[in-house]
């Protein structure tokens, strides 16, 4: 798959995410607040490719806490501006009522600003009980 064209992965979503299959995955990402912690996956049987994509999506859809929003005021003005631009862009693209979307507030995904293009999952540690991975994202800004 190249960054220039999309590939339909729906048929692969039920495949094991790792070889050998594991029941537990820990995914870290450098773009997060330290208090968020890693993305944790633990399944009854084995972690699938679909489980990984859904867990990453759900993780970045979580609303920011009041404390996290307050901490944004300590960031540089340019960074705050990029985060707010991402928030307004997300709300404008959301189906339905714009005022409703705006009232939902900032999410973890908004903190990514433009770094929303999937880059890579790199194995940091492989254990018998599960793997630890690092999620890399790239900027979508041109």
Q: What is the pLDDT of residues 11-53, one digit of tens each?
A: 889 999 888 888 899 888 877 788 888 899 999 999 999 999 8
Q: What is the DSSP letter of 15?
A: S
Query: CB atoms < 10 A from the CB of 23, how many?
Result: 13
| pLDDT band of 5, cuts 50, 70, 90 | low
Asked if pLDDT for residue 106 goes beyond 90, the answer is yes
Q: What's the average model confidence in pLDDT over 107-118? A: 80
The confidence score (pLDDT) of residue 2 equals: 44
Look at 1 and 54; give whichever has higher pLDDT.
54
Cβ contacts of 90 within 8 Å, gap of 6 or more: 101, 107, 109, 110
- Smallest CA-to-CA distance from 47 within 65, 69, 21 is with 21
Whether the predicted pLDDT of 93 surpasses 80: yes
**Model pTM score:** 0.80
**Whether the predicted pLDDT of 136 surpasses 80:** no
């Amino acid at each position: 798959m190249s960054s220039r064209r999309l590939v339909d992965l729906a048929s692969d979503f039920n495949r094991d995410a790792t070889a050998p299959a594991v029941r537990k995955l820990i995914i870290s990402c450098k773009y997060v607040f330290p208090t968020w912690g890693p993305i944790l996956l633990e399944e009854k049987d084995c972690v699938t490719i679909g489980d990984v994509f859904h867990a990453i999506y759900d993780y970045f859809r979580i609303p920011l806490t009041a404390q996290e929003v307050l901490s944004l005021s300590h960031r540089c003005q340019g960074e705050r501006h990029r985060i707010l631009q991402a928030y307004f862009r997300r709300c404008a693209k959301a189906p339905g009522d714009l005022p409703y979307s705006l009232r939902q507030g900032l999410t973890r995904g908004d903190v990514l600003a433009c770094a929303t293009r999937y880059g890579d999952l790199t194995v940091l540690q492989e254990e018998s009980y599960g793997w630890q991975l690092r999620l890399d994202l790239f900027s979508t800004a041109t």
